[in-house]
Chain A
Amino acid sequence: MTFIGMNNRTRGKRLAGGTLLLALAALATTLFYATSPLFAQATSGSAEPALSGAASGSLTLWTDPKTGEVFTRPGRGRVPLILNTGGGASAQHAVEEQLQEQKAQTAKLAQQLDQQQKQTAAVTKQVQEVTPAWQDYLASYKNKVSIGTQVWFGYSLFSHTGWGPQYLTQQIWPGPGNDGYNDFFLHRGYLNFFFYPTEDWTVRVTPNIYTMQGSTANQAFGGNAGIPNTNVGNLGYRIKYAYLQYNTPFKNLGIDAIKTDKIIIGVQPQPITAWEEDLYGYRFVNLTTWNMSEASTYPGLSVQGPITFGKDNLQYIDYNIGVFDNASFHAFEGTNTKEVQGRVSIYPFGARWRFQGLGITSYYAFGYGNNTPDQAQLSTPFKGPNSEIERLAEIVHYDAENWGIAFEYDWGRNAWSPGNMFSGSGPAALYGLTPNAAFIPKSVAINQAAYANLADALLNNGRSYQRGYNFFGHYHLPQTRYTLFGWIEQWNANTQVKNNPFDFERVVLGVAYQWNEYLRFALDTQNTLFYHSQYNMPVSYAKQFNWSAPKGFTGTSIPDVVTSDTHMFMLNAEFVF
């Protein structure tokens, strides 16, 4: 170009005007269309000689060396002037390649961008969906843990105090001569922890607040000091329940009737008491009968559950069978034997819920006194605490949603000890203590000791048989929050004894008020009535049961063996969550 330009400017006058213009036009056209092959081809016919060379990357003109004129056609004295056009076709090709490459790169970048955008969106979504660990933990915790409580609190006013069995767990009162005694009392303070790690397993741990009772002995502390006993009356904490429950042991057997039955291992309710408490519904007011002589909870293993049939899945049988320690949850196990307990409830017409309709329940327990094997082998005239223990209950019950009634027959063998008889309050001598001489004349104290020995002879002799009749129920007053309830019991402490002075009737009557789903109150009266007429038991008869006279006792009969009744009014509150 520079060359041509220079020639143009220096030699312009000698170049024929039309020829020069044509050449320049051809050159410009060639150069211009070199970058546009389609247009170059379309116009190539207008300057074929020159453009023919352009196709190869050069332009051939002719020049007269003498004059320096440039011609587009050969002629005499002219020599070819080949101008390199810079490889138009190859440049075009290169440009095309570059364009294609550029397009490919652009497409690749677009693809990468699209992919990047998708990844970014996915990451954004993932980040948005990420739940903090603590939230995940709490959500899981909420679905797998239940925490609740059960509190029973009461106020008792004893219009007449006597000796006898307690009405509620750990409830005590002073003996005869203390009319008007009253107290506020915490009977139960559960903390219920239920864990449901999987559908198959449930874990329950329930500590319970209770009132501590025990030895009153003070203790030496150092060489010349002592400290008082501070256990008695304190609210202690102990484990009431701690067990592992296998919810689906029979699930894979393909037997629908028992698919919800379960196996429980650990410290758990024995088969009768907790079940009967729910049947009665007013355990926060008074104890059920067998619970007055055996704990509600034992360490052991049980299998239990409903047996259901039919398309409506009605419950026809409900059972609970287990093997337990002879010692309850608040004692050491001392034996080399174990206790077997079982309950079977039959609902002949089917039950929609646990107690619905007519039910017939049988309960049986066979165990031993909680003594170590060496002590159990001792030869004693009457193996009281070493004896076999049996308990039986036959209950016919009917439950509707607004009322329920039940009749219970009890039979027992060696199942009612002096400790059960006087769990609420008893003669001091029964517990190895001497009455305060300032209040009790010595002669009366000796007679009390004789009475205590009589309890031990008649109730702890290894051949005692018990019998009980119970009638209990409740009726909800329609359109109110009030429910009437009651429990009437006759208890024969040992049917082998004629006119057993320890026979009694227990009468509980009350009205409950349901505040809401969690809170109930009750106002009730509870009474222990020793119903035999007062009499003196001949020593000769008492000795048939291995009665022994206390020191200083010289009489031929034990005077006034029928102790006084106890009457108590109570306000109870129950909170269960």
Chain B
Amino acid sequence: MNRIRSNLAKPSGFLKAGAVAGALALAAAGCSTMAAPADSPPAASAQSASAKPATPAPDVTDCAIVTLSTPTLYACGGKVYTVFQLQHLREQASAAKAGG
């Protein structure tokens, strides 16, 4: 976003468009090295979420909607979670925090 904003500040409209496109391409290229199944069904996402997270539990507010359905799927940290998994992880993290 910072790159996008700085490029948008340039006066030329053509340059603006080019900068936005370039920034998007760079961002996309940077993300393309990440690995995870796309359009994951609930079962597949359950597998990806079953592993003990090495990072803090994902917060739904930081996630992207993948599918609004039963269950709704969110993408967090490159993985796809069901809302049930996100709730479970959040409650686990809260319990761990409360327990010191």
Contacts and interface: CB of A to CB of B under 8 A. Distances in A.
B67 A314 contact: no
Contacts of B37: 308, 313, 315, 352-353
Nearest to B76: A401
A278 B66 contact: yes
A357 B27 CA distance: 8
Interface in B66-89: 66-72, 74-78, 80, 83-84, 86-87
Interface in B27-85: 27-29, 31-32, 34-41, 60-72, 74-78, 80, 83-84
A314 B76 contact: no
Interface stretch (A145-153, A171-179, A221-229): A145-153
B39 A318 contact: yes
A69 interface: no
B39 A305 contact: yes
Instruction: Name, among B34, B37, B78, the residue most crowded by chain A CB atoms within 10 Å (CB to CB).
Output: B37
A243 to B, nearest CB: 13
B32 A401 contact: no
A383 interface: no
Interface residues of A, number: 50
Interface stretch (A21-29, A512-520, A524-532): A512-520
B87 A516 contact: yes
Interface string A227-262: 000000000000000000000000000000000100
Interface residues of B, number: 40
Contacts of B98: none
B24 interface: yes
Nearest to A513: B61
A353 B66 contact: yes
Contacts of B77: 401
- Classify the interface of chain B: helix, strand, loop or mixed: mixed
Nearest to A404: B64
A149 B71 CA distance: 9
Nearest to B63: A401
A353 B40 contact: yes
Interface string A151-169: 0000000000000000000
B52 to A, nearest CB: 20
B1 interface: yes
A64 interface: no
Contact of B36 (A352, A517, A576): A352
B38 to A, nearest CB: 3
Interface in A58-83: none
B63 A403 contact: no
A509 B38 CA distance: 30
B70 A147 contact: yes
Contact of B67 (A194, A278, A312, A404): A278
A110 interface: no
Given A281-B65, A306-B39, A399-B64, A354 B75 contact: yes
A399 B87 CA distance: 23
Nearest to A482: B61
A401 B68 contact: no
Given A402-B62, A517-B87, A148 B71 contact: yes
A318 B66 CA distance: 13
B25 interface: yes
Contact of A314 (B38, B63, B90): B38
Contact of B60 (A149, A314, A318, A517): A517
Given A356-B75, A517-B90, 5 more contacts: A260-B41, A315-B39, A353-B66, A357-B31, A357-B32
28 contacts: A146-B71, A150-B68, A277-B68, A278-B68, A312-B35, A312-B36, A314-B35, A315-B37, A348-B28, A349-B29, A351-B38, A352-B34, A353-B36, A353-B37, A353-B38, A353-B75, A353-B80, A354-B39, A354-B67, A354-B75, A357-B28, A357-B32, A398-B27, A400-B31, A402-B62, A476-B62, A483-B61, A577-B71
Interface of A: 146-150, 192, 194, 260, 277-278, 281, 283, 305-306, 308, 311-315, 318, 347-358, 398-404, 476, 480-481, 483, 514, 516-518, 576-577
